[in-house]
Structure 1
Amino acid sequence: MTDRKISLEELSQHQEAEDAWMAINSVVWNVTGFAGIHPGGPDIILEYIGRDGSDQYNSVHSSGLAARNFETSQRIGVLDAPTKSNTDADRDNRNPKLDRELPGLDEIINLHDLEDAAEKSLNERSWAYLSGATDGSITKNRNCSIFEEVYLRPRVARPVGSADTRVKILGDEYDVPIFNAPASLMMLAHPDAEIALAKGLAASGSTIVIPTLASYSTDEIVEALPKGHPFFFQLYTSPDKSVLDKIIDTVVRLQPRAIFVTVDLPDFGKREANERYERKVAKQKKDSSKTKQKSNQARSAGVAIDSDLSWSKIQWLRERTNLPIFVKGIQCAEDALQAWKIGCQGIYISNHGGRAADTAQPTLLTLAEIRLRYPELLEQMDVFIDGGVRRGTDVLKAICLGAKGVCLGRPFFYALMYGQDGVQYAMQILKDELVTAMKLCGVARLSEAHPGLLNTRALLNQVDYGTEFRSKL
């Protein structure tokens, strides 16, 4: 069947919320009702209805994502006008997210160097999103600095001619306990986004945690992995049951090793760096009618996340998927205990990299709190943690306190500026640092890591034991 040709004039006649068309890479779609369930929030959809939204779409999505997510019945026709597309064939070798040329990878010595390169080289939009956090970024900064307050207590005269960094999680063995913290809009760092990340992590003996709000479809990301390679999936629960069911059906079909249900973001915080950038863009357009709309775009994505998520809903997900469930966003010992009580096989300690509640305690402190108050949980569940990990010593400290896997968010965004090579390079830096830290502490294999290798006085002084102001839960 031949597609009907749609002129720009006809397209412009469908720009009402109840009658909305949009052109994406030459294809005209009926997007009526989509604004309310769009994972990136309604504002950007409402801005481009009745228009060609290809440039905006291609800046954060793969060219084929729309066709995979819209129904065939929503396809109206093809645009009868010149349009731009972001297909693989149209790309050149230069990363379009960069304003300045990157230093060579041989100039990158540690993950801090990657961040410096990102700040100097990424365009303003990408840097604002990647580097920002909620409010004053207090939690973001403390996630990092608290690792510096925990000192190593090396043991000597131990045979450490080699160091074994392997870890087993849910029956699968990985060469390193290092994974990505799932994050959206990875295309802001590189056009290959999660495809490059998946390939780089798998080649490094790890695997990807696929985000719900990925730039590529889940199918495309899984296809980028070696056949049968394990992976995890991070789930935002949509308030729209039909949308949630569609996501779950896709995920269950692909069989991840576990689903990480995000619970720490029932509402989007005030992302000040994003809002400053959006207001600047609106002012440059000199369009006061859009200034208010654009200034809130950083938070508008929250409408696609279920703010009424409950423990009973998490139990329902266990039954609905019949897959291991990890609760992602644990920020206190009481909730870690609750996750265990409802039968979750693991927890993921996270405060969204400081993008959830600002002044929430840093994640390493939460891990210490769980170890002190409910140490048995660390034996009965697999524990992941993210937030502030920048060194191999940070990885070792988290493992000593009971974590099985350590996840990194922003550093992998920065590594992605170099594509798959950058991801593998960052992983090699961390693995080398971890091996060195293990040997210098007398640890031949990660199973030998324990809290006695740490001076945790700084953590003990901050842990809430729940005795003075006892929790009701």
Structure 2
Amino acid sequence: MTHTIQPNNPEATPAPDATDIPAAPAPAGAPSSSALPAALKRRVPKYSDLAPLMQFKKPEFSRAARLQRASTIWELRDIAKRRTPKAPFDYTDGAAEEEITLRRARQAFLDIEFRPGILRNVSSIDLSTEILGKPSRLPVGIAPTGFTRMMQSEGEYAGSQAAEAAGIPYTLSTMGTASIEDVAQAAPNGRNWFQLYLWTDRDRSLELIERAAKAGNDTLMVTVDTAVAGARLRDVRNGMTIPPALTLKTVLDASYRPAWWFNFLTHEPLTFASLSRYTGTVADLINSMFDPTLTFGDLDWLRETWKGKLVVKGIQTVEDARKVVDHGADGVVLSNHGGRQLDRAPIPFHLLPEVRQAFTADNSDAAIMLDTGIMSGADIVAALALGADFTLIGRAYLYGLMAGGRAGVDRTLQILEKDMARTMALLGVSRISELTPDHVRLLPR
């Protein structure tokens, strides 16, 4: 059959109006067309109706646009994975042995039920709090992370500056890739803390303590859960070394992430800024420099030596929480090192109510902080409701760093802040102090 196209003829019969189009047969039992409201009668759409709907935006592929499209920490993680070579990404993303502890820590935050209050005035949400005697604009700080410039070349500088801008604390690791002095210079108005691993060489430890004090750090956070290195099997499989080894495998992997390698090769060589130059595996470094003979007597020495606030990180039992406070700690961080040390370790979120109950019974005003597993602002609100004074993020901040440097860390904090404000408003609370255990119920598994 041939279809003939008629030429355009201005005198031709005009196109039928919408009212001239025959209506489709109505199903049996349906109301007649005359009985339908005018809004439900079919018609040919007009361009004037469609124009407001056709708001096509020009595609944007910039880093800023990519980060703004991320609305969760998990989406930042997806970007980070695409932009970062496997070895540094897995170092951040992985945990010890079968990674059971990490999965359980994240599951713990999923296994809760919020219990909101209604008819409260939540027109204004105040997320500010006080931690260790000073104000923080948000109830979250950046946890200490090692080898940070390996994840992305801006490293500790991006983290400390983002924290300074957000009005929250930043903690530099002993195994950081920027020095105490350089971080202080990069974020001169920030609240900088320093994390310490006590070395077998006490003179080296004392040197770091003195440098931290001189640089204006008001809090020393000593980590106590690394007598030996955990079995981080992803790092073993990837041949994770410091600095990265240029094997055939890493070169092939880098071919898909040229921006990371360009930044890595054109910036200052990666070293442990607080340590002497070291080459070897992460586990070998930890086993060679950290002291498996540490006791509470060493904590007493540290309390006498450090004049600022002292926090002990790596607390995993109620008894140890009480004991470090008895030995002079101003606060504890309930943490299992992000699941990177002992697999099947206690989950900090589960331990939290017991520690809060114990401190209340002891009339202790020591601060309770929590890390491990936090991936949203709702997680933070749940921790605060169950008794935490403050929280710390490690992986969540590193995902943002790998996704987009300083701008990615800023985006991480923006996402968490928005999450927290929304969650609190929906719970019917406007200030951190209004959160109580009644707002959260732990669901049985």
TM over 0.5: yes
Q: Percent identity?
A: 28
Residues 1:449 and 2:440 aligned together = no
Match of 2:75 among 113, 117, 124: 113
Match of 2:393 in 1: 408
Residues 1:250 and 2:236 aligned together = no
- In the superposition, relative to structure 1, how do residues 195 and 273 fare at CA in structure 2: closer, same or farther (>3 Å)? same
CA distance in 1, matches of 2:421, 2:364: 24
Match of 2:128 among 166, 191, 200: 166
Match of 1:199 in 2: 161
CA contact (8 A) 2:164 2:191 kept: no
How much does 1:105 deviate?
0.8
CA distance in 2, matches of 1:383, 1:259: 15
Residues 1:425 and 2:387 aligned together = no
- Deviating runs (4+, > 6 A) in structure 1? 279-283
Match of 2:23 in 1: none
CA distance in 2, matches of 1:377, 1:248: 30
How much does 1:256 deviate?
1.8
CA contact (8 A) 1:318 1:324 kept: no
How much does 1:331 deviate?
0.5
Match of 1:365 in 2: 350
Note the 1:33-72 alignment, pairs <5 A: none
> Any unmatched runs of 5+ in structure 2?
1-62, 250-279
- 1:424-457 per-residue CA deviation (whole Å, 9 max, x = no partner) reads 1110110011000001001110011110111135
CA contact (8 A) 1:147 1:394 kept: yes
Match of 1:259 in 2: 220
CA contact (8 A) 1:208 1:232 kept: yes
CA contact (8 A) 2:356 2:388 kept: no
- Give secondary structure in 1 for the equivalent of 2:169: coil
How much does 1:266 deviate?
0.7
How much does 1:376 deviate?
3.7
- In the superposition, relative to structure 1, how do residues 216 and 102 fare at CA in structure 2: closer, same or farther (>3 Å)? same
Task: Please tell me the residue identity of whatever aligns with 1:301.
Answer: L
Match of 1:346 among 331, 348, 355: 331
CA contact (8 A) 1:333 1:374 kept: no
Match of 1:299 in 2: 283
- Give secondary structure in 2 for the equivalent of 1:328: strand
How much does 1:193 deviate?
0.6
How much does 1:395 deviate?
0.5
CA distance in 2, matches of 1:350, 1:357: 11
How much does 1:378 deviate?
8.2
Task: Please tell me the residue identity of whatever aligns with 1:135.
Answer: E
Match of 2:20 in 1: none
> Any unmatched runs of 5+ in structure 1?
1-100, 286-295, 462-473
**RMSD of the TM alignment (CA)?**
2.3
CA contact (8 A) 1:151 1:454 kept: yes
Higher Cα Rg, which structure:
2
Match of 2:116 among 154, 158, 176: 154
Task: Please tell me the residue identity of whatever aligns with 1:360.
Answer: A
Task: Please tell me the residue identity of whatever aligns with 1:439.
Answer: A
Residues 1:177 and 2:136 aligned together = no
Task: Please tell me the residue identity of whatever aligns with 2:282.
Answer: A
Match of 1:7 in 2: none
Task: Please tell me the residue identity of whatever aligns with 1:427.
Answer: L
How much does 1:348 deviate?
0.7
CA distance in 1, matches of 2:401, 2:248: 29
Q: What is the TM-score of this pair, normalised by structure 1?
A: 0.70
How much does 1:396 deviate?
0.5
Match of 2:372 in 1: 387
Paired residues, what number?
350
Match of 2:57 in 1: none
CA distance in 2, matches of 1:300, 1:165: 42
Match of 1:32 in 2: none
CA distance in 2, matches of 1:435, 1:171: 23
- 1:383-407 per-residue CA deviation (whole Å, 9 max, x = no partner) reads 1110011111100011011112111
Q: What is the TM-score of this pair, normalised by structure 2?
A: 0.75
